Amino acid sequence: MEHGYSRNLRRQHYLELPPEGQFDKIYTCGMISHLDRSEIERYYRHVHGLLRSGGRLWAHAIVPQANDYGMTNYNSLSGTFSQRYVFPDHFQFPIHVHLKVMERIGFRVRYVHFRYGHYDKTLRHWYRRFVDNLPRTRPMITPTIERAWHLFLTYASAIDGPSSVVKQIVAEKA
């Protein structure tokens, strides 16, 4: 172990791992943005089972701000487009939904970090890489998907990106 990082990293679907308390730390980047409504509790329950007592989870994602209007990524303009063409498998829950489920399962939430002003830059980098790699990747996608990603990455970086907030939750298994 060097500087607090393990040299034993795994990239695997979480359900492929038996929940036997074998991990001290779990880091997820973006995973919680791709949970369906029916999966959120199962996901956190499984991750809780993967951790040893005192183990920590760091969940990092872009989640929408809570609002009084009932807007979700299923009924906003960018959300319905994204649901149909870009990320058909996701539902972005507001942060309070994650915290409520985590605490009910038995996590102790230690920190919630809000990172402002980064996602629009990320989207612009993704768009540049998308365009740079099109000669190689175009045979793998349909013209509809190519157009959808052009629209999504340019629209989201200009409209959603500046107001999007990266949220990070650090929680501990009791």
Domains and their CATH numbers in the chain: 14-116+164-173 (3.40.50.150)
> How far apart, in whole angstroms, are the C-alpha atoms of residue 26 and residue 102?
14
Indicate the pLDDT class of residue 134, thresholds 50, 70 and 90. very high
The answer to whether 21 and 51 are in contact (CB under 8 A) is yes
pLDDT of 1 > 50? The answer is no
Query: What's the pTM?
Result: 0.75
What pLDDT, in 10s, does the model give residues 111-128?
998 877 777 788 888 899
Cα distances (Å, whole numbers) of residue 122 to 46, 87, 150, 166: 30, 17, 15, 11
